[in-house]
Structure 1
C-alpha cells in the first residue's frame, strides 16, 4: 500500500484547501495510506487519513528552526512514497530547503491552483527549473495553466487534472435547510471575499446597472475574507444596502447555491474554480467572466451558463438581465447544468490520480 502525504496550508478558508480534504478522501477510497499535513491550525473541511497539524503541535510557536526540525523528523520517520504539495509556493529560498532537504519521497507532485502562477513558481526561469525540472510531475488544475507553464518555463513534466465533483455529497448537503429569506429571489456569489482576485467591485457595479434590483432580485454574497468591510462600504455608496446581503463563511454553502437563480463569478484570475462546478452540480446556472483560467473549460456559452468578456461591466449587466428575462434560455441552460460536468465525477478524477501515483 503506497503511503501518501498531502501538504496543505489548512483545511479551511478557500477552494484549494477544500480540494485538499476532497483529495484525501478520494485517495483513501482508493486504498492508499493517506496522511494530511496542515501548516496552520484551521480544520473545517472534511478529510480522510491521519492529520498532522504543525501549528498545533508547535503550540503556535513561530520559531523557524523548531518548525524545520519538526518537519525534517516527520518526513524522515514516515518515509512517504508520494508527497502532494497543495500550498502556495512563492519564496524560492524557502521552497529550495523544503524540496531539497525536507521532502523525502519517490514521487513529489506540486499542484498549481491558480493562473496567478507567481504564487506557485518563481518568475525567474532558471530558479523555477532548479526547483521543479527534476521532480516527478507538476499537476495543474486547468489545461491553460499547464500550457502556460510549459511555454514559459520549458518544463515537460507538467500535466492537467481537473478538480472533481462529489455529486452525491453535494446534493445531500444542498437539501439541508436554508436561512436566507430576503425577497426569496436572489443571485449568488460564494467564495473568498477578496477584491484583488475575485473583483467583487465589478460585481457590485454590474448588479447596480442591471434590472435585478428593480425586479426585487437580491444579490447574496456568501463568504468571509479580508475585504468584507470594503465591499460593504461599496454597497453602501451604491445605495444598494436593501438589495445586497452578506452571509459569513459556512461549511455548507450548497443550499444557498441550489436555491439561487444563478451564481456569478467576476474574478480577475482563477485556476479551475470550484464554485462554478459546484453550482452546476446543484443544477444552478452560472454567469462568469472569461478570466484566466478555468471558466472557458467549464462553461459552454448559452448551453450550461453565460460566459462574458472580463472587466466588461455592461456585458455582465446585460447577461444578468437576460438570465432573468429570457425564460426559454434560462430553462434550457438549467436543464444542461448537471450533465455538462459528468466528466468531473469523483470516480473519474480519482482514476486519473491513481494512474499518476501508480
Structure 2
C-alpha cells in the first residue's frame, strides 16, 4: 500500500519466514540468526540493522516488535534509532505485548515518541494506563478490487460449513472454546461442518478435542492456506471468538468476500467493523449467546442474504485507497514530531 503511494519501503524480518507476496526491499535477519541465539549474535544482528538503516538512508521506521523489556528498548533507542525516526506500532489490545509493565519506565521510554494504533479503544487504553500522548489511530485496510464476487467451492468440499481462521496458539483465538460451542450448537446435527484455517502449536490438542467430542469428521483443519478467499466466500459465515484482538483482518476479508460474520465483542476490533448490517456481534466470552447466534445465522437464510447484500459496502470506509492517504499524511507529520 505504501509502495503504491510512492514510498521507498524496506521490510526487515526477524525470522526467516516469508508467507506472502510483498512490495519492498527485504532484509531477512533470520538468515543471520544462529541456533544459540546468544547475546553476541543478537548484537551482530542489531549492528546489521543499524548499518542497513544508514546505508539505505531510511528515515522513518514502523516498529512492529514486541517491546516488553526496558533494557532492550534502551539499547534499541540509544543504539539503533539514533538517526532514524521510529513510529511505535500497536496491533493488539493486549498492551503487554508492546510496553513494559512498569508505567514509569514506559512513560520514560515513549512519552515523546509517535505511536500508531488500530482503534480508538487501544488509544484510550494506552492513554489511561500509561498517560502517553502522540497516539494516532489508523485501522487496517482492505483492497476490495482484489476480491471477486464469486469463487468456486474448493474441491473436495461438498457439505455446508462455517469458517474460522487464525494462528493456532494458546489463549488468543480460543479455538478450543469455539469447538465446544460448535458441539453444543445445532450445526453438527444439520451436517454443517466447522472448518478451521491456520497452523500452530495447539493443532494436535485441538484435533484431540474434536475427536473426544466425536466431531473429528466435522471439525476440519485445513492448515495454512495461502489464498483463503474460496474457503471464505463459500462459507455460510465466518465466526470469531478471540480473547482479544486489534482490528481483525479476518473480519475485513470475510466481508470483502461477501460472507457475514458472527463475532464476540472482544477488545478491540469487532465492534468497529460489525455495524448490524453485516453480521452478529455478541457479548465478549458469552458462549451461550454465541451458540444462539451461530444457530440463528446458520438456519436463517433470509438473514444471511440480507447481511451478504451489505457486506462489501459496509467496509468501504476501510478501502485501501482511503487508508493509504491517511498513512501518507501521517508519515509526513512524523517529521514534525521529531
Normalising to structure 1: TM-score of the pair? 0.88
Contact 1:188 1:262 in 2 (8 A): yes
Aligned position for 2:335: none
Q: Note if contact 1:39-1:55 (Cα within 8 Å) is conserved in structure 2.
A: yes
Q: Is there any run of 5+ residues in structure 1 with no aligned partner, and where?
A: 1-25
Change (3 A) 1:180 1:290: farther
Shift of 1:280: 0.4
Q: Who is 2:336 aligned against? A: none
Cα distance change, pair 119–259 in 1 and its aligned pair in 2 (3 A): same
Distance in 2, matches of 1:79 and 1:132, equals 24
Name 1:121's counterpart in structure 2: 99
Deviations along 1:249-308, one digit per CA (max 9) or x if unpaired, are 12111110001000010101001001011100000000000101111111113x110001
Kindly report structure 1 stretches of 4+ aligned residues shifted beyond 4 Å.
57-61
Indicate yes or no: 2:130 matched with 1:153: yes
Q: Which runs of 5+ in 2 are unaligned?
A: 333-338
Structure 1 partner of 2:228 = 253
- Aligned ranges 1:1-358 → 2 under 5 Å: 26-57=1-32, 62=37, 63-105=41-83, 107-135=85-113, 137-171=114-148, 175=151, 178-181=154-157, 183-301=158-276, 303-358=277-332
For residues 120-149 of structure 1, what are the alpha-carbon distances to aligned partners after superposition, in whole Å with 9 as ceiling and x for unaligned? 0112111111221122x2011111001110
Give the TM-score of the pair, scaled to structure 2.
0.93
Secondary structure in 1 matching 2:167: coil
**Aligned Cα RMSD in Å?**
1.7
Contact 1:80/1:105 (CA < 8 Å) preserved in 2?
Answer: no
Paired residues, number: 329
Which residue does 1:11 correspond to in 2? Answer: none
How far apart in 2 are the matches of 1:171 and 1:191? 22
SS at match of 2:247: coil
Inter-CA distance 58–200: structure 2 relative to 1 (3 Å threshold): closer
- The Cα shift of 1:69 comes to 2.4
Q: Which deviations, in whole Å up to 9, do the C-alpha atoms of 1:83-115 show, x marking residues without a partner?
A: 111222222211221122102455321111111
Q: Please say which of residues 286-295 and 316-325 is displaced more in the overlay.
A: 316-325
Partner in structure 2 of residue 20 of structure 1: none
Residues 82 and 108 of structure 1 are in contact (CA less than 8 Å); yes or no, is this contact kept in structure 2? yes
User: Does the C-alpha gap of structure 1 residues 180 and 162 become closer, same or farther in structure 2, counting only changes over 3 Å?
Assistant: farther
Match of 1:10 in 2: none
